[in-house]
Amino acid sequence: MLEIERKFLIDVIPNTFTYFKAVKITQYYVPKSNIFIRFRKSEILEFFDTNIDLNNIIEKDFSVYTTKYEQIIKSDGSKIRSEFTTAIDENLFEFISENESNYKIEKYRFYFYDENSIECTLDLYTNINLKKIEVEFDSEFDCDNYTIPNWFGLEVTEDKKYRDYNIAIK
């Protein structure tokens, strides 16, 4: 499957920001040269108050609704990459977490719709001061013709230092 996406940094989350889904993500990476292998735990969250300060999320703000585990393999590239996702069980994820603990990221992901009704994600990283928006597309044409909302920051789609893999191996 092809993943077609653009990535943007963000400094300030607008006061009018609303989301429809929240996930706490823990990912471990297996170092490899030309493909990227990650193991992900996604905890679907239920927040007790929808008016929380997204810059200061704490565990008491939410409960975990459900959890899923996946292995994701991606090719090299930037805007367009091959991606394969397979469900795994908790035991395999825990084994990986015990053996690849040096290559880890944790983040909160908020799903929202932009001003053009395009689904986007806002990632807030817990281990570094980074806020990143990702927008996935069905076609390269849609990707190239996307109207960027004015509150999105610098585009980093082509900057490999903002890949989760590179953040994890630092």
**Domain range 2-168, CATH architecture:** Beta Barrel (2.40)
Q: What is the pLDDT of residues 38-48, one digit of tens each?
A: 999 999 888 76
Q: For residues 88 and 102, what is the distance between their CA atoms, to the nearest angstrom?
A: 21
Helices within 32-125 (DSSP H only) = 90-99
Helices within the chain (DSSP H only) = 90-99, 140-144, 164-168
Distance linking the first and last C-alpha atoms of the chain = 28
What percent of the chain lies above the pLDDT cut of 90? Answer: 54
What is the pLDDT at residue 93? Answer: 95
What pairs with residue 158 in β-bridges? none
Domain boundaries of the chain, sorted by first residue: 2-168
Q: What is the pLDDT of residues 53-77, one digit of tens each?
A: 666 665 666 777 899 999 999 888 7
Sign for the pseudo-dihedral over CA of 124, 125, 131, 135: negative
Q: For residues 83 and 15, what is the distance between their CA atoms, to the nearest angstrom?
A: 34
